[in-house]
């Protein structure tokens, strides 16, 4: 740090002022970095908690050689059981929802050109119909 101040003393007055501003900005940056390091140092570092692996037989009263269930299968089975119990506890009547609370979903406006890759074919067909109308018109006027 002493070398920095020695360099500062060698500079003219205006340059010294700019250099002082740079020193203050750098010290603020270092101060914030030190604060971050202190915050990170205060975090406890330890081993993560082990994930308990639960294995359960498929049926408690089933065959002796039934395969064990993975944790995901056990969780899915427990969820279905809970849903079944919740469904039994719910009343059988339907809840009436007021109309103002009901949402009305509207589809976006339909685009005229749903298949842009077929546009040239539609243009050709329209021109062919127009030519056919012209031919029919000239035949009728010629009679």
37 and 6 share one domain: yes
Residue 32 has pLDDT above 90, yes or no: yes
Q: Does residue 126 lie within any of the structural domains?
A: no
**Domain count along the chain:** 2
CA angle 110, 114, 115 (to 5 degrees): 175
Q: How many CB atoms lie within 10 A of CB 77?
A: 13
In the 3-class helix/strand/coil scheme, how is the chain assigned residue by residue?
CHHHHHHHHHCCHHHHHHHHHHHHHHHHHHHHHHHHHHHHHHCCCCCCCCCCCCCEECCCCCCCCCCEECHHHHHHHHHHHHHHHHHHHCCCCCCCCCCCCCCCCCCCCCCCCCCHHHHHHHHHHHHHHHHHHHHHHHHHHHC
Q: Does residue 119 lie within any of the structural domains?
A: no
Task: Return the percentage of the chain with pLDDT > 90, whole number.
Answer: 15
Question: Could you list the residue range(s) of the whole structural domain that residue 66 is in?
Answer: 56-89
6 and 34 share one domain: yes
Q: Does residue 16 lie within any of the structural domains?
A: yes
Tell me if the pTM is above 0.75: no
pLDDT, residue 28, reads: 92
60 and 31 share one domain: no
Q: Does residue 70 lie within any of the structural domains?
A: yes
Q: Does residue 13 lie within any of the structural domains?
A: yes
Q: Does residue 124 lie within any of the structural domains?
A: no
Residue 129 has pLDDT above 80, yes or no: yes
Give the tens place of pLDDT for each residue, 82-125.
898 888 887 666 666 566 555 666 666 666 666 666 777 778 88
Q: Does residue 95 lie within any of the structural domains?
A: no
Give the tens place of pLDDT for each residue, 17-28.
999 999 999 999
13 and 38 share one domain: yes
Q: Does residue 27 lie within any of the structural domains?
A: yes
């Amino acid at each position: 740090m002493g070398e920095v101040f020695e360099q500062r003393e060698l500079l003219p007055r205006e340059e010294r002022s700019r250099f002082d501003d740079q020193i203050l900005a750098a010290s603020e940056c270092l101060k914030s970095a030190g604060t971050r390091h202190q915050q990170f140092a205060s975090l406890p570092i330890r081993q993560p908690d082990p994930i308990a692996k639960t294995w359960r037989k498929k049926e408690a009263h089933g065959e002796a050689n039934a395969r064990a269930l993975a944790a995901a299968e056990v969780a899915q089975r427990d969820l279905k059981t809970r849903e079944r119990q919740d469904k039994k506890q719910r009343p059988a009547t339907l809840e009436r929802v007021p109309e103002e609370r009901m949402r009305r979903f509207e589809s976006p406006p339909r685009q005229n050109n749903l298949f842009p890759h077929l546009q040239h074919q539609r243009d050709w067909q329209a021109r062919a119909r127009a030519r056919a109308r012209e031919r029919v018109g000239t035949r009728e006027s010629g009679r």
